[in-house]
Amino acid sequence: MQSDLAGLKITRGEIKHLSGVNLGRILRPPTKTKYLSEGLKSLLIFLLLLISYWMVVQILNQYHLLLILIYGSMAVGLFLEDIYKIVITNKNQHLIKLFDDVDKYNSIIQAIAINDKIEAAGNSQVKLSNRTEVIKALTLIREDLIRALKTERIIRENKKFIDDNTDLFAINLNTLTALQINDIASEHGRLLNEALQIAIEVREEMKKLQDENLPK
C-alpha cells in the first residue's frame, strides 16, 4: 500500500474504540433473514453441545451433575448472547448505518490499493490521474466518519449531551463538494463521487441523530 493510503483505513479495532461496540455484537444487515441465519447457527452450536455432552458423560458419568451445570451454562450463555445481539441491533440503527458507511469507505481504499498494484505490475493506463484529489476526499471522509462514530456514542451514552454540544455536527461536506470532478466517467471521478455519497449519508445520519435528541 502506498504511503498516501497508509493509515486511511478505519480498522475493526478503531471502530470498537470509537463506538464502544464490537462489530461481532451487531447483526448486519438487520433483516429477518439475518436473524434467522443467526438463530440457525446458534441451534447448530446447541446441537453440537448436546452431542459433546453425551460423549463426555459416557466417559465421566460420575461427574454428570457437574457436566450438566457446565453445558447448561454454555447453552444459556449462547441463548443470552443471541438475545443481546438482537436488542443491541434494534436499538442502534444509526450506528449500523455508520458501520455500513465505514465499509463503503474502506472498500474505496481497497479498490485504490488494488489499482496501485495493477499499475505497479506495468499497467500504466490504470493510473489515477487526480490521485491527490481522491486522497484528499478520503481524508475528509475519514474525519467525518470518526466524528460521527464518536458523536453517536456520546449521544447513546449521554442523551442530554447533544443539547449543549451542537457544534459536533459540523462536518466537512462543504469542503468536499468544493473539489472539482471534471471527468465523472473516469476512475478518479467515480471514486470521488462514491466518497461524496458517503459524506452525504453521514451528514443525513448525523442530522437524524440531532433531530431525535434535540429538546421538543
* pLDDT of the residue at 209: 66
The helix/strand/coil state of 35 is helix
Does the residue 27 lie in any domain?
no
Reply yes or no on whether the pLDDT at 49 is more than 80.
yes
Nearest-CA neighbor of 92 among 140, 149, 36, 139? 149
Mean pLDDT of 172-192: 53
Count of domains in the chain?
2
Residue with the bigger pLDDT between 60 and 213: it is 60
| Segment 58-74, tens digit of pLDDT | 877 777 788 888 878 88
The range of the structural domain enclosing residue 65 comes to 36-88
Q: At residue 177, does pLDDT exceed 60?
A: no
The residue among 117, 86, 111 whose CA lies nearest residue 195 is 111
- The reply to whether 40 and 125 lie within a common domain is no
Torsion angle, CA of 158/162/167/170, rounded to 10 degrees?
90
- Same-domain check for residues 63 and 110: no
The per-residue pLDDT for 145 is: 86
What contacts 190, CB < 8 A, 6 or more positions away? 184
DSSP-derived secondary structure for 79-131: HHHHHHHHHHHHH-HHHHHHHHHHHHHHHHHHHHHHHHHHHHTT-GGG--TTH
Same domain flag for 144 and 202: yes
Query: Which of 86-95, 165-174, 196-205 is least confident?
Result: 165-174
Q: Is the pLDDT of residue 183 over 50?
A: no
Q: What is the pLDDT of residue 78?
A: 80
Q: Which residue has the higher pLDDT, 182 or 83?
A: 83
Same domain, 121 and 202: yes
Asked, for residue 31, whether it belongs to a domain, the answer is: no
Q: Are residues 52 and 118 in the same domain?
A: no
Return the DSSP state at 186.
S
| Whole-prediction pTM | 0.65
Q: Is 164 within a domain?
A: yes
pLDDT of residue 14: 92
Q: Rounded to whole angstroms, how far apart are CA atoms 184 and 153?
A: 36
Same domain, 115 and 172: yes
Position 206 confidence tier, pLDDT thresholds 50, 70, 90: low
Q: Is residue 3 part of a domain?
A: no
Asked whether the predicted pLDDT for residue 86 surpasses 60, the reply is: yes
142 plus 204 within the same structural domain: yes
Average pLDDT of the chain is 75
Instruction: Judge whether residue 180 has pLDDT over 60.
Output: no
- C-alpha cell at position 204: 443525513
Is there a single domain that holds both residue 41 and residue 137? no
Can you give the pLDDT at residue 37? Answer: 77
